[in-house]
């Protein structure tokens, strides 16, 4: 025990050090990474946006970042499956805590998110965001595009989120339409996976419907994503309701007929060629969860996103 510490989120000796906290104890940062607002030396940043005022059905995703962090404690410090590596041995990752928002002035929310995200991106770090409802992807896209230019959108979701609005609404169902009109994403190289609802417009974005995902193998789905994005820089957004409610009951707008967590994780594992410039996991709503099923799925998806980034860094030397 002499070389072990607890509360690794505060006692870590370096940004790449391994934690020794027992699963059931210790400060619950994401995967026990150091809690800090100091971006110095960080290769990747995990950040929470506890916001759910844009939801059209069941609220509760403001508690999503807390739940995902708590569920991530199940990942110990062995090489992370399926990446066969300690993700943090050569990649410095911090938990930047949460976005500061005024719950009484929602009209200020998008500017606050964009401003704080931009400050993180200015450090050069990769940003992985934990939502929050899917509206938060709109200001996140603005911040990422300001740094990287227009991006391909790779969206795992049961919904297209292409409903038209007046450009002022705080609405989690219209951010994709707004992003296309604003030129933030290239619809010809964007793709949505797991769609099980209809919207008035698709804006030319390629759709893989739920029944198609059911019939395709994970390898076929991944190949379709990679070939459609054509090597473009991409933003990866994962709405947890992409998964069937059996695997993610804790979400605001569940839709039956979705894929299993095992299948979609197998897809994610195969996206090593995707040039992901930023990512988020959204719509985890703990009030409707059972035994942390949804939170565990969300934490695992987030870990895979870090794993893909670690492998891309390793490949780049």
To 10 degrees, what angle do helices 109-121 and 137-148 make? 40
Q: How far apart are the first and last CA of the chain?
A: 35
Contact by Cβ (8 Å): 65, 130: yes
Burial class (CB in 10 A: 0-12, 13-18, 19+), 70: middle
What domains can you pick out in the chain, each with its CATH number?
8-316 (3.40.800.10)
Widest Cα–Cα separation across the chain: 62
Q: Give the model's pLDDT for residue 128.
A: 98
Q: How many C-beta atoms surround the C-beta of residue 123 within 10 A?
A: 15
DSSP per position, 61-89: GGGHHHHHHHHGGG--SSPBTTTTB-TTS
DSSP per position, 202-219: -TT-EEEEHHHHHHS-HH
Contact by Cβ (8 Å): 240, 159: no
With a cut of 70, list the residues of the chain below it in pLDDT: 1-2, 77, 317
The rounded distance, in Å, linking the Cα atoms of 121 and 125 is 6
Q: pTM, whole model, 2 decimals?
A: 0.96
């Amino acid at each position: 025990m002499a070389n072990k510490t607890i509360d690794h989120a505060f006692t870590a000796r370096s940004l790449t050090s391994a934690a020794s906290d027992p699963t059931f104890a210790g400060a619950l940062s994401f995967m026990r990474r150091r809690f800090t607002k100091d971006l110095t030396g960080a290769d990747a940043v995990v950040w929470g946006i506890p916001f759910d005022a844009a939801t059209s059905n069941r609220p509760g995703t403001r508690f999503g970042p807390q739940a995902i962090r708590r569920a991530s404690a199940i990942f110990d410090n062995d090489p992370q499956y399926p990446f066969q590596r300690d993700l943090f041995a050569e990649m410095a990752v911090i938990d930047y805590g949460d976005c500061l928002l005024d719950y009484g002035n929602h009209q200020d929310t998008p500017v606050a998110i964009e401003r704080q995200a931009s400050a993180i991106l200015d450090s050069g770090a990769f940003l992985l965001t934990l939502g929050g409802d899917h509206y938060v992807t709109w200001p996140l896209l603005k911040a990422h595009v300001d740094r990287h230019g227009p991006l391909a959108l790779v969206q795992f979701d049961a919904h297209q989120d292409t409903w038209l609005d007046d450009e002022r609404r705080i609405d989690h169902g219209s951010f994709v339409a707004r992003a296309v009109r604003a030129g933030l994403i290239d619809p010809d190289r964007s793709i949505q996976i797991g769609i099980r609802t209809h919207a008035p417009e698709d804006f030319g974005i390629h759709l893989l419907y739920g029944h198609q995902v059911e019939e395709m193998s994970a390898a076929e789905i991944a190949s379709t994503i990679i070939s459609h994005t054509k090597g473009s820089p991409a933003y990866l957004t994962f709405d947890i309701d992409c998964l069937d409610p059996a695997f993610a009951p804790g979400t605001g707008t569940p839709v039956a007929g979705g894929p299993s967590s095992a299948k979609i994780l197998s897809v994610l594992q195969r996206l090593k060629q995707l040039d992901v410039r930023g990512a988020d996991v959204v719509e985890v709503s703990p009030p409707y969860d059972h035994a942390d099923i949804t939170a565990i799925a969300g934490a695992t998806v987030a870990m895979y996103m870090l794993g893909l980034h670690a492998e891309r860094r390793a490949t780049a030397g």
